[in-house]
Structure 1
Amino acid sequence: MHASAFFRQLATLILGHERKQQLRISRSLTAAFVFLACIGLQIYGYWHGLIEAQYVWRLSIVILVNVVFWYALLRSGLNLRFRDPALTLPQVLSALTIITYAYSVTGRIHGSIMMLLPLVQVFGIFNMSQRDSRLAGFYSLGLMGCAMVYKTLTDPENYPYQVELAHFILIAAILPTISSLAGQLNSMRMRLQSQKNELAQALTRIQILATRDELTGLFNRRHMMEVLTQHQKRLIRSGHHRFCLALLDIDHFKRINDTHGHGVGDEVLREFAATLQRALRDTDVLARWGGEEFLLLINDTSPELANIGLERARDMLASAPLLAHMPDLRVTFSAGLTGYDDVEELSICIERADQALYRAKAEGRNRTVIDDQLPSLVGKRPRAPVAAAH
C-alpha cells in the first residue's frame, strides 16, 4: 500500500495533476526513450571504435537538451498557450532534425539510425493533422536527402552513394506512406469526434424533450408529476414544506385560435407562460398541463398567500398587451387553487384544484377560486407553520 502511494506521488510529481497534461508529458517522455536508444547506440559505436568521441558527446548533449526543453515546456504549462497544447509538430520536426544529424555523424553504423525516422512520425500519427503529417514527411525526406548528398561527397568511404541511394529510395517509400496513414487516421478521428458531438447534442435534445414542453419551455406534464412526487415525499418525510397547487386556464383561448389563427395562439401561450414566471418566485414551479392549461406548484405557503402571486400575474397581464404587435388582444385566466396535505393522493389534490377551476369559469372567469376542503387531519401530525412567501 505504501509503495503504491509512493509511486502515485512520484507520477504526480513528474507528470502533474491535470489528466490531459499527464498524457502529453507521458507521450513526450516515451518518445525520449528513442533518443536514449540513440545515445546507447553511439556509446556502442564508440566502444568498438566506429564513432569518434567528439561526435558522441555533441550528439548526446543535443539529445539531452532537447528532451529537457520539451519536458520543461510541457510541465510548466506554457504549452497551453498554443493552438496544439501537445506541440506535436514542433516536437516531431525537432526529433527529425536530431535524427538527421545523428545519421550524419554515426559513420559506419548510420544505417541503423534510419529506422528512427518512421518511429518518430508514428508518435505523431494520432495527433497531427494530415497537413502537419505531410509537412513532417516532406521535411524529413528533404533534410535526409540533403544530408545523404553531403555525406556522399564529404565521406564517401562511410557513405557510398550506392548505399545512400538505396537508403533514400527506402525512406521515400516509407515516409509518404506513414503520412498517408496519418491523414486517414486524422479524418477518421474527426468523423468520430463529429459523431460524438452530434450524439451528445441529440442526447441533450432528447433530455430536454423528455422534461420540457417544446412550445413554452416549461416542464411538461410527465416531468411535473415527478416534481410533485418529490415534493410529496419530502413533506411526508419532514412534515414541513407544505405546498399549494393551482390549475390555470387561459380564458376563451379557442376564440383566440379561431379569430387570429394557431400561430397567434402559440405566441399567446409562450408569452403567457413567460409573464407568469416573472410574477412568481424562483421556488415555484410552473408546467404546461395540456392545451391552454397550466399547473402551478407554490412552495411553503398557504392558499390565501399563494393567491397573491396569481393576482400579481393577473395585474401584469392587465397592465400591458401580451403581444406587442396586437395591443387590442387582452388575455385573462381563471384559476383553481388548493393546498396539499400528506393525507391524500396527488391525483386527489389535482382534482380538487380542477374542480375549483371549473367553479372559477362558471362564476365568470378571470378570477381565482380557492378550494380549502382538505382531508381530515384527525390522528395526523399538526401542520408546520406557514411562511408568508409572497
Structure 2
Amino acid sequence: MIKRVIWVVLDSVGMGELPDAEKYGDIGSNTIGHVAEFNNGLAIPNMEKLGLGNITGMVNLNRVAEPIGCYGRIHEASNGKDTVTGHWEMVGVKSEIAFPTYPNGFPKSIIDKFEAFTGRKVIGNKSASGTEILDELGEEHMKTGALIVYTSADSVFQIAAHEEIVPLDDLYKYCEFAREMLTGEESVARVIARPFLGTPGNFTRTPNRRDYALLPPHDTLLDVLAKKGLNVMAVGKIEDIFSGRGITDAVHTKDNMDGIDKTIEYLKQDKDGLIFTNLVDFDMKWGHRRDAKSYGKGLEDFDARLPEILNNMKDTDVLFITADHGCDPTFKGTDHTREYVPFLAYGSELKKGFDLGTKFGFFDMGQTIADIFDADKIKNGISFLNEIK
C-alpha cells in the first residue's frame, strides 16, 4: 500500500515544443535537449536510469536498456506557459483563459492606487529582466526610496526593493495590497516581492522572495488530501503558488540544494501524505537569464543528489518527477517556452521500465495521486495508476 508521494517539480525543465507552440512564438524550443547539446552532453545517470532518456521525443540524452522507473511526457492542457497555470493544472485546475500580461507596463490607474497606498513613487513600470532593472534603477531607488515595479512576459507584478531601504515587512505589506488590488480583468497570476542587497554595480537578490498568487477557482488535489486528513507538505514556493490553500505544513527554501535538503527532512519525519517540492533555480536563475551552462550544471547537481532521495524512501513511498513548463536558455528572449514536460515515477509498488507514452493534461498526475490515496476525484484528470502499478 502506498502511503506517501514525493512530487518534485523541476521548475521549467521542459523537453520540446508542443504542437501549439507556434501560437506562443516557441517553435524550436527544447529545454533539456538544447541544454544537453550546449554542454556537449549531461552527466545525469540517475534520471537516465529512471528512464528520462527513453521518453518519446527526448533528444541528446542516453537511453537505457532496462529503466527502473515509469516514464513519459505530458502535454499541458491549459492556455498558458507560466508557473501558476502549470502548477494549478497539476492539481486539477484547467485554465481556459491565459492570465493578463503587461508588455508595456501597468495602467496608470493601477500605479496611482499603488503609490497612494505605499506613499512611495514607482519607477520602472515596464517589462524587464530582474537583474538588469536593478542595474538600471537600483541606485535611484536607494537615493529616493521609490519602489521598482516591473513585469515580464509572465503575468506578474514584481516589486523590487533594497532590504536596507524598505524593511521586508513593509515590502510584504505592499505586495499584499497589490494582490488585493489586482482582481477582475486585472487578475495578475502572481505578485512577487523581489528584495535585494548590495551597492550600485553589485546588487544581488536575496532568498527572501515571496510570491502572492491568486487563489485557485475551486478545490484542488491539495484540498482533497487535506480534508481526508493527510499531510500536504510544501517545499519551496509551492505554498505561495497556492496561497497556502490545502497545505498543512510548509517550508521556504533559498536554492535547489536547500529544497532537496528540506524534502529529505520531510521524508525522515515519516508522515503519510504528499511532499510537494518546487526547485526554482532552473527557471529563476538559469532559464530566464539564458544561462545554459549553469542550467546543465543544475541538472547534474540535482541528479547527483537523487540517490539521497531514493535512499530515504520506504517501500510504501512513490516518487514523481516532472516540470511545469519550459524555459529554454538557448532560445530567443527571456520568456518561458511552451513545451512538453517529462514525467518519471519510481517506487517499490510501481512497475519498472513502463512507457506511459504521451499524456494530455498535467492534471492526470493529480488524479493519479488522488487514486493512490483513495481520495475524492479532482475536477479534471484521468488517473494512470492502473498503468504504472
TM category, shorter: under 0.3
Higher relative contact order (CA 8 A, sep 6+): 2
**TM-score, normalised on structure 1?**
0.24
Give the structure with the larger strand fraction. 2
Q: Which has the larger radius of gyration?
A: 1
TM-score (norm 2): 0.24
Higher helix share: 1
